[in-house]
Amino acid sequence: MTTQEPTNAENWAKPVDSLHIAHDLPDHAINLNVEGKRVASMTSGFGKMWQKTYRVRLDGARVAPQQVVKVWKEHFPEFWQKGQHFFGPMASISPGDVALINVKTGGVKLSTGILVLYADDVSFSFMTPEGHMFTGMITFSARELEDGVTQAEIVALVRAQDPIYELGMMTMGSGAEDRQWLHVLRSLAAHFGVEGKPTLEKICVDRKRQWKRFGNVRRSAAIRTVFYSVTRPLRRKEKTRASA
């Protein structure tokens, strides 16, 4: 092992044993399944592994890849679909940030989060906590194509974390995820005055399901969120009784 420091050490998150959200959250945010959780191993998911690449050409926008990614980092939550919430730090997205996500996917409410694993001036990547819908990594980037047009891209290298998510992905979840990222790319393009026509390319990297990971279901953020939602009226009642 050598100790030479690489040139891009500041672009990576520092090692952490467990996740912690360091910024303030709005009152309506449901903060479950992130605090104290470990990052999910990139290789420990249950379902088939997919590489999904979403792209949009920013034809007509004279904008460098660095500028696209700067805007993307600074306005990340604004590009999301209505009703899907990303509660990150106010300023921008930086390596090591932990953000909360409250989304509705396939009819199920979900409180989860991400760790910003890597960020440089032309890309940034997220990893997920244990219990998230999928394990793996999602990378947002921009590059200049040979014809001089800048292209924004999202690459998700993911597999469903447990059998319930896999079932969900096979039915409604995968389509919902695709709609989300295609929407983000359309919104990003619109920010630069472009009517974007995003594309999607799907490759199945591994068709085998990892049955030894069946037990991941016990950490499911979806189950925990549903339980939290169902028991909320009871907790409110308890709180009212205690304060009376």
> Cα separation of 174 and 179, whole Å?
9
Question: Smallest distance, Å, CB 131 to other proteins?
Answer: 15
Question: Smallest distance, Å, CB 118 to other proteins?
Answer: 4
Question: Smallest distance, Å, CB 98 to other proteins?
Answer: 13
Query: Toward other proteins, which CB reaches closer, 48 or 191?
Result: 48
Query: Toward other proteins, which CB reaches closer, 156 or 176?
Result: 156
Considering the rule CB under 8 A, would residue 150 count as an interface residue with other proteins? no
> Cα separation of 84 and 29, whole Å?
11
Considering the rule CB under 8 A, would residue 204 count as an interface residue with other proteins? no
Query: Toward other proteins, which CB reaches closer, 7 or 243?
Result: 7
Which residue's entry shows tokens 């920010």? 191
Which are the contacts of 34, defined by CB distance < 8 A and separation ≥ 6? 19, 21, 98, 100, 111, 112, 113, 129
Contacts of other proteins in 17-76 (CB under 8 A):
39-44, 49, 51
Token pair belonging to 11: 């672009």
Token pair belonging to 31: 């903060």
Q: How many residues bind other proteins (CB under 8 A)?
A: 38
Q: What is the DSSP string of 60-108?
A: T----HHHHHHHHHHTGGGGSPTT-EEE--SS---TT-EEEEEEEETTE
Contacts of other proteins in 105-134 (CB under 8 A):
117-118, 120, 123, 125, 127
Report the SS3 class of residue 107. coil
Residues that bind other proteins (CB under 8 A): 1-9, 11-16, 39-44, 49, 51, 117-118, 120, 123, 125, 127, 136-137, 139, 141, 155, 157, 205-206, 208
